[in-house]
Amino acid sequence: MRAEVPLARILDAIDYRPDLSSADLRRLAGALGLNEIGLCALGCGQYPLPEAAALPFCLHPLRMAHGIGFANAYLVAVCGASHGILFDTGPDIVALQAAWPRAIKTVDAVFLTHVEGEHTGGLCEVVARFGLSAAFCPTGAKVPCGRAMGEGERMRFGPFEVTAFSTPGHASAHNCYLVTAPSERPGGALLISGDLVFAGSVGGGYFCHRQLATHLRRMLGAVPPQTVIAPGHGPLTTAEHELRYNPFVV
């Protein structure tokens, strides 16, 4: 191919066995129009992570083992409160319980980014356990206990305002959720990004790569630069940081 990198090495990298030299990565970035600095850092296992801005509420990442990696769910709560709102439910209820912070006794709402085993395990059980009528889901998601939440729809729970953005690409039904708490302290937004964007990477475009790329660019541009991004996999990052370094934001 144009980058003159052996196909076997590219396939190994796709299969999580990267053996690409910096020269390979530079040529790949050039041939594919990717961010060279970000791709080289990622390929060398040195993708930089930003100092995430302080949020006006507490964010509890619930990191759960899944396959060869980890999946994240998130609880958002007023600091010191015993209740909050939950985003995704991880691979299963046992893993979710093991990751659950002791201080949080109940949830006021559950939101789902997309239907995939490592994010929806035990979803309806969680909804029933906390006496909720349904989980807020992307429009078109096939979830028996789901209630559709479409583009621009906004919900309030206590001080939290949650706005849904329809971001198909990784899946046909996929939402990101922007969380703010305007009454707590101005500024400080959180984007629950599901499998749209990760620190230094993006979700697979299993439904439509073109749509994923479009929504990726749209979302990173739509939120304030310091917005904390909480992805379905991997560490926290910020919108500004991913715009600058994410190799796949083109």
Q: How far is the CB of 120 from Fe ion (least distance, A)?
A: 10
**Contact string 217-246 vs Fe ion (x = CB under 5 A):** ---------------x--------------
CA distances for 69 relative to 65, 118, 232, 248, angstroms:
6, 10, 11, 21
- Residue 69: phi and psi, rounded to 5, are -135, -145
* Length of the chain measured in residues: 250
Shorter beta-carbon distance to Fe ion: residue 24 or 118: 118
With binding defined as CB under 5 A, does residue 91 bind Fe ion? no
Q: How far is the CB of 94 from Fe ion (least distance, A)?
A: 18
HSE on the CB side for 95, CA within 13 Å?
A: 23
What is the spatial distance between Cα 93 and Cα 30, in angstroms, rounded to a whole number?
Answer: 44
Shorter beta-carbon distance to Fe ion: residue 56 or 169: 169
Q: How far is the CB of 194 from Fe ion (least distance, A)?
A: 7
Q: How far is the CB of 177 from Fe ion (least distance, A)?
A: 15
> Which residues lie below 8 Å from residue 145, measured CB to CB, with a gap of 6+?
123, 124, 127, 128, 134, 135
Cβ-closest position to Fe ion? 195
**Contact string 175-214 vs Fe ion (x = CB under 5 A):** --------------------x-------------------
What is the spatial distance between Cα 175 and Cα 209, in angstroms, rounded to a whole number?
Answer: 16
**Which residues in this chain contact Fe ion in the complex, by CB under 5 A?**
195, 232
